[in-house]
Structure 1
């Protein structure tokens, strides 16, 4: 009876040794990406099945927290790949990144040619409302200002949707942005640190509208069978969020990092994203999108500042926002 026990022990020791020798890929991302319901667990399982490696996610919070960690650690970081920055943040991260080497046709509403940052999903920012509570939503920021509606938004200092709203107003109104914020201030019920807190308040009926995405209603339709949530179409156009992945230049696993980037653009990974991250995939999967995505609004025009413009305008836009909400 000792021999089976010995064999089992040897097998376990061998498995542990193999696991210890497997290369580790450290991927920095945001917290909802690695949530049980997010894309992280499925992407991790699918990639590890092919790479013979150990994919380890770290999630310090939202994308703003990711960027802060990267800038603080610099070349000393143990991060190999970053997943979840967007175009409003990449200008600061660029000096730390290396070319990803992935060549693939992207299904984006804009042209994209950046050797450092690879899009993996995208959507437009929008104000989401409940059609059973609000029959006719505002069709512009000015109509929202003139209404008696309440909205919940996110803090641009800690939340990418919050920062996206700053850039949306700036891209749509330019020098008039400060006046728009002064008009919007009475409509803002509260400002939350992140998206989940804001969306939760909206679902609880605390506000008429919430800053989210044009793709948010797809979640309710597909996951809950609820078609009562919709995104309001604004005449000014809607600002894009393009989420990207990138390789950290100081990685000690450059080949594995490039393998992961190629995987992220593959059909296997892109098919996971729509119904876990509830965004449009950067590369349309062969199976297409679920029916719940088909009736969503497709805004025109698509607004997007370049990475350098977003960096230049960020502090002035934040000052306009703070001044308006302080009054």
Structure 2
């Protein structure tokens, strides 16, 4: 026969029951909270990126747990295939959507895209834009007295102009640049690169390295985006950074999101895709991703964005055109810079 428990032990056990029950209920509530797995580039989910604000705003209305999985977006998805844990992927750009689409991993978003305010027509039923900008060269207007107003002006600038760009084999902005040059110069692209080469101080793997060199004063101009000066204007109250606007046009860059076919949270994924077009989501984009929102009227942009000069001519390749020209454009760049 088991001995009776001492009175003190019983008293402690009775007092602990409500706490234990509460912990069990809390654990059950967490277990019942649906999780939305969103694959995104590192920058998106960083403390300074748009991810944290979007996560908080969406969770406030969905009753779910939005979890970012960061890293190289498309390579990871292609590696995981149908076994991916992703419900939604965000951070694609239009120069790689052909490869993404051909994977068969993505489902139609089923949304009305009439709220989009892009400078080009967009009718894609799979990849949904969330922001955009134009590739541009940013300069310090206290050091560069006469900014180029065309690509020819840049090519013919003195060779002591110090320029930093990104590698098109590892950077989406670098790839946009070679496609931009290809669009402007066609079969004379390699000749254009040969003229530009003496001005290029270095080619970095990614955008952040280049832009850091520029802000540290190691270069006069840097390959970036027409929206880059907005950061300096709004966050730093610095009016010394400007985008050189070219009369021959600027290459259009759009970032995109898509729903995975294999998601086990289909309704939640649809809810998030719809949230992308909401004013709440879009109003966070300018001052967290420093880009133009894809579905917000210009009158609702922050003041620092409304004052930015924008190109009159927008250059853009469809995903089929970009895929067909990619290798040729990169090779023209490589040959010219290796001479």
- Report the Cα offset of residue 284 of structure 1: 0.8
Q: Number of matched residues?
A: 323
SS at structure 1 position matched to 2:286? coil
Equivalent residue for 1:90? 97
SS at structure 1 position matched to 2:289? coil
Q: Using the TM superposition, name which of 182-191 and 285-294 deviates more.
A: 285-294
What does residue range 130-209 of structure 1 map to in structure 2 within 5 Å? 130-147=140-157, 148=159, 149-209=161-221
Equivalent residue for 2:128? 118
Contact 1:267–1:286 (CA<8 Å) still a contact in 2?
Answer: no
Equivalent residue for 1:293? 305
* 1:286–1:166 Cα change, 3 Å: closer
SS at structure 2 position matched to 1:276? helix
SS at structure 2 position matched to 1:139? coil
Q: Distance in 2 between matches of 1:57 and 1:115?
A: 24
Equivalent residue for 1:304? 316
- Report the Cα offset of residue 193 of structure 1: 1.3
Equivalent residue for 2:229? 217
Q: Does 2:109 match 1:100? A: yes
List structure 1 segments (4+ residues) > 2 angstroms apart after TM superposition.
1-13
Q: Distance in 2 between matches of 1:174 and 1:28?
A: 36
- Report the Cα offset of residue 179 of structure 1: 1.2
SS at structure 2 position matched to 1:272? coil
Q: Distance in 2 between matches of 1:180 and 1:4?
A: 80
TM-score w.r.t. the length of structure 1 is 0.95
Equivalent residue for 1:36? 47
Q: Distance in 2 between matches of 1:286 and 1:23?
A: 36
Contact 1:168–1:303 (CA<8 Å) still a contact in 2?
Answer: yes
Gaps of 5+ in 2: 1-10
From 96, 109, 119, give the equivalent of 1:109. Answer: 119
Q: Does 2:73 match 1:66? A: yes
Q: Distance in 1 between matches of 2:187 and 2:86?
A: 39
* 1:100–1:186 Cα change, 3 Å: same
Q: Does 2:32 match 1:17? A: no
- Report the Cα offset of residue 286 of structure 1: 9.4
From 282, 292, 295, give the equivalent of 1:270. Answer: 282
Q: Distance in 1 between matches of 2:211 and 2:20?
A: 50
Equivalent residue for 1:283? 295
Contact 2:117–2:297 (CA<8 Å) still a contact in 1?
Answer: no
Look at both structures and tell me which one has the larger radius of gyration over its CA atoms: 2
Q: Report Cα offsets for 1:251-288 as digits up to 9, x if no partner.
A: 22211111110011111111111100000101116971
TM-score w.r.t. the length of structure 2 is 0.91
- Report the Cα offset of residue 21 of structure 1: 2.2
* 1:286–1:213 Cα change, 3 Å: closer
- Report the Cα offset of residue 12 of structure 1: 3.0
Q: Distance in 1 between matches of 2:331 and 2:92?
A: 22
- Report the Cα offset of residue 30 of structure 1: 1.0
Contact 1:123–1:279 (CA<8 Å) still a contact in 2?
Answer: yes
Q: Report Cα offsets for 1:157-186 as digits up to 9, x if no partner.
A: 221111111111112221121111121111
- Report the Cα offset of residue 152 of structure 1: 0.8
Q: Report Cα offsets for 1:15-62 as digits up to 9, x if no partner.
A: 2221122221111111111110111001011111111211111111xx
Q: Distance in 1 between matches of 2:221 and 2:250?
A: 16
